Amino acid sequence: MNIVLAGTSSAVGKTTIATGIMGALSKERNVQAFKVGPDFIDPSYHSLATGNISRNLDSFFMNDYQINHCFKRGLDISNSKIGIIEGVRGLYEGISPTGDVGNTASIAKSLNSPVVLIIDSRSLVKSAAAVVLGFENLDPDVNIQGVILNKVKGKKHYLKTKKAIESLTNTKVIGGIPRNEDIEVLQRHLGLVPALEKETIASNINKWIEVVEEYVDLDALLEIMKEYSSDSNKSIKENINSIPDSDEFKKPNSNELWKVGNKKNVKIGVARDEVFSFYYQECFDALKDNGAKIIDFSPYKDEEIPDVDGLYIGGGYPELFTKDLEENSSMRKSIYDFYNDKRPIYGECGGLIYLSKSIDGRSMCNVIPYDSQMNKHVQGLSYTITEANEDNIISDKGDVFRGHEFHYTSIATDNNAKFALDVKRGNGITGSKDGILDKNVMASYIHVHACSNPNFAFNFTRYISEN
């Protein structure tokens, strides 16, 4: 059984409500959570609420085959029969103004999942019915089966709005959550505060669960899931080409998740702690499929890297922990020594910054000999398309792959900098280049998903085993 919880706009409280539902159902059931889009932070809340690692589903990164198989794989790994999918922004907001790629609707259609709309009902009664009708009629292939009203003024407001929607649209209203500032989530420059960083977030999630249990009809939600969810294998066969997009962003068909072939065992150290937590779980799955053993370490807390063959330093908030990272000189030295020993290192976004010479004057690892800085305004926020201009740690020359960037930092390169990637869409490091190459290192601002670059794990593990 599965369901998509989708908003009518970005700021309707999707994460609070979706996480509350996931947590409430997890009390008696094994729930697997998913997030539409490239976001890392919402899934950290899901994971805490369910006890299972939340996974991303994204039709810019993935075609229908990959969406269906990653969904089913996620359920199988967690041994769950219930998949709850939190949408991104509004139901129909995607990469283009008319297409489906990158939006929540594409995932719902690919999986044949029923949709429950979350509406900000502030000051709405009959107009809420018009909103539901508009969302239903825009794309009849999207199976909208329920509505949750958020920010209702009180019981009278809720009952009037519920009557309007159910009378004029024949769509069931399964909950109405009152306005409550206590269940708002903390914000910062890259979005919601990551769950890993906030010890108090668990108590906040408990509040969200209590609110959902009081104001959402969870039995009705389960009934929608039971009645309208389609068998996943049927979805794969019937919907290989179901995402209707004729623009340049449509992902080509491929009946594979990622390349598998390297079976030589390698150990990869992954920086994962309060500072570095932005990873797609499928990247780890793909690495494991190619013989990798993942060993976590903390640049923030540990004295040195573990005994590994390669390093993977992902994204996060190093710019907020510069003092702590600088003071952990033994860790920085161990990473620099690893680099000098010509061992492979791959860095993404925050990893790029941590590998740089410094950030805002504070010393970092100096693996990449350039200074970086934090800026007041965003430097890159976009889906990206890049092409490898030569063979490197994660791709072959000529590979065109997709990713996502979101950063306020910049790095001051010079004419001696060597780049592995030509940026076709996005900003990267220079506006046209990304992926700094230096000996055995490749680091960029681009977050790569294993489905968007099928060679990622195969190339990285092969490179490690050969060096």
pLDDT tens per residue across span 144-174: 999 999 999 999 999 999 999 999 998 999 9
- pLDDT band at 331; cut points 50, 70, 90: very high
CA dihedral 242, 243, 249, 254 (to 10 degrees): -40
Spatial contact of 412 and 379, defined as CB atoms under 8 Å apart: no
Query: What are the backbone dihedrals phi and psi of residue 251, each rounded to the nearest 5 degrees, phi first?
Result: -80, 135
| Percent of the chain clearing pLDDT 90 (strictly above) | 82
Rounded Cα distance between 287 and 93, Å, is: 32
Region 65-92 average pLDDT? 96
Residue linked to tokens 């996480």: 19
Question: 2-238: CATH homologous superfamily?
Answer: P-loop containing nucleotide triphosphate hydrolases (3.40.50.300)
**pLDDT tens track for 353-412:** 999 999 999 999 999 999 999 999 999 999 999 999 999 999 999 999 999 999 999 999
Spatial contact of 458 and 261, defined as CB atoms under 8 Å apart: yes
Spatial contact of 237 and 16, defined as CB atoms under 8 Å apart: no
Q: CATH assignment of 266-466, given 3.40.50.880, 3.30.70.2860, 3.40.50.150, 2.120.10.30?
A: 3.40.50.880
Rounded Cα distance between 221 and 229, Å, is: 12
Rounded Cα distance between 390 and 394, Å, is: 11
Q: Looking at residue 287, what DSSP letter applies?
A: H
**pLDDT tens track for 342-360:** 999 999 999 999 999 999 9
Is this prediction's pTM over 0.85? yes
Give 143's Cβ-side CA count (13 Å radius).
17
What helix, strand, coil percent values describe the chain, rounded to 5? 35, 30, 40
For the chain, domain boundaries:
2-238, 266-466
Mean pLDDT across the chain: 91
Region 39-62 average pLDDT? 94
Same fold: 2-238 with 266-466: yes
Residues with catalytic roles: 349
**pLDDT tens track for 86-145:** 999 999 999 989 899 999 999 999 999 999 999 999 999 999 999 999 999 999 999 999
Give 311's Cβ-side CA count (13 Å radius).
34
226's tokens = 């039971």
- pLDDT band at 462; cut points 50, 70, 90: very high
Instruction: Characterize the bridge pairing of strands 356-359 and 368-374.
Output: parallel
Rounded Cα distance between 175 and 232, Å, is: 27
Task: Say if residue 235's pLDDT is above 50.
Answer: no
Q: Is 220 helix (H, G, I), strand (E, B) or coil?
A: helix
